[in-house]
Amino acid sequence: METKVSTTPEDWAATYRRDCPSRTVVELLANKWGLYVLAALRRHGRPMRFSELRRLLDGITQKMLTQTLRALERDGLVTRTVYPTVPPRVEYALTELGVEAGRLTDAIGTWSVEHARQILAARRDFDDRAAIPPQPVGPTGTGPAR
Amino acid sequence: METKVSTTPEDWAATYRRDCPSRTVVELLANKWGLYVLAALRRHGRPMRFSELRRLLDGITQKMLTQTLRALERDGLVTRTVYPTVPPRVEYALTELGVEAGRLTDAIGTWSVEHARQILAARRDFDDRAAIPPQPVGPTGTGPAR
DNA sequence: CGGGATCCTGTATGATACTG
DNA sequence: CAGTATCATACAGGATCCCG
């Protein structure tokens, strides 16, 4: 209530409908590679080459990178410029829209880094608690050596 | 304002490494259901019941919802409270951390709604351009009709 | 170098049924 | 109601090979 956004609860309800167009947009951003590519391009501040992105994003395959870039290009978040030089040279740059989206994905990336430690701690904690032998019952051994 | 740890380009580089812990966090948020659940809880402003979430998030299966909530709980973003009433009643609430994360995912959801029209237009445009007949080549297909 | 096209497998996700 | 357990499968994603 304290936050003043232009979207109303009614808009949100529509968002949750599986046929809401915005869902396809969310799903574009809510995918690790799409998110990383956008964040990387935004942080880099200038166009990047295909291989540059590939090298930066550890673990991404050529297929996934191509696929991701295509999807982003298709939705108007990045532009693809081909320089017909001898060794082909293709650069990807963010559009205005892409920069905006990049701000959001960048924020997630940054937040994740800043809270990774805390979250991983909570995770270990949870796992430990779940690993406690299932034996709360009975006055038998307080500590079932199991 | 939260303690803003100045992120440097070097930090980012680490982010892109597949073994960077933050990646697991990103992947928690960068998934449509996780994103929607967080956003929904945040927008709702108060705890929600399992079935409430299920009804709201059109298309989510009980399995996915459970799985998503578990993951969020594990990472300390939501708390799970069970009221041992006759018909079981379980409520999910955001933790402080969850509220923060929710701000980010909410932002993505909101942005997606606000730009869906524009993005879908770009998408149609792209598809149309791609659909241009692969060259109404004149006489005798120059290329092997495969 | 920057992909396109294939092939192939693991996992994510869905559908269904059962339980406390 | 709020799950857990199972089974079935679609699709994401990895590995390869090839081409302009």
Chain Cα centroid distance, residue B126:
24
Contact between chains at B26 and A112 (C-beta distance less than 8 A): yes
Q: Which two tokens stand for residue B66?
A: 């459970």
Handedness of CA B14, B18, B20, B22 (dihedral sign): positive
End-to-end CA distance of chain A: 51
Tokens 């799409």 correspond to: A34
d(CA B29, CA B78): 13
pTM of the model: 0.85
Q: Which two tokens stand for residue A108?
A: 């997630």
A-B CB pairs within 8 A amount to: 179
Q: Which CATH class is domain B12-130?
A: mainly alpha
The number of residues making up chain B comes to 146
In three-state secondary structure terms, A124 is: helix
pLDDT computed for residue B132 by the predictor:
65
Best mutation target, A58, A72, A106, to test chain B (most B CBs within 10 A): A58
Which A residues 92-121 have CB within 7 Å of strand C? 92
From chain B, the residues in CB contact with A105 under 8 A are: 108
pLDDT computed for residue A143 by the predictor:
38
Q: What is the pLDDT of residues B70-109, one digit of tens each?
A: 999 999 999 999 998 988 999 999 999 999 999 999 999 9
**How many percent of chain A have pLDDT more than 70?**
82
pLDDT computed for residue A133 by the predictor:
58
- For residue A11, how many other CB atoms are within 10 A of its CB? 17
- pLDDT band with cut points at 50, 70 and 90 for residue A18: confident
The closest CB to that of B107, out of A24, A27, A104, belongs to A104
- Kindly report the nearest CA distance between residue B128 and chain A, in angstroms: 11
The closest CB to that of B35, out of A26, A39, A110, belongs to A26
**Contact call for residues B37 and B72 (beta carbons, < 8 A):** yes
Q: What is the pLDDT of residues B8-63, one digit of tens each?
A: 666 678 888 888 999 999 999 999 999 999 999 999 999 999 999 999 999 999 99
Describe the crossing of helices A21-29 and B96-131 by its angle, rounded to 10 degrees. Answer: 110
Nearest CA in chain A to B113: A22
Per DSSP, what are the bridge partners of residue A78?
A: A94
**Contact call for residues B38 and B72 (beta carbons, < 8 A):** yes
Per DSSP, what are the bridge partners of residue B83?
A: B89
Whether B76 sits with its Cβ under 7 A from any strand C atom: the answer reads no
Which B residues 87-146 have CB within 7 Å of strand D? 87-90
Q: What is the pLDDT of residues A96-135, one digit of tens each?
A: 999 999 999 999 999 999 999 999 999 999 999 887 655 5
Describe the crossing of helices A62-74 and A32-44 by its angle, rounded to 10 degrees. Answer: 80
d(CA A4, CA A8): 10
Checking each nucleotide's C1' against the CA of B89, the nearest proves to be: D1
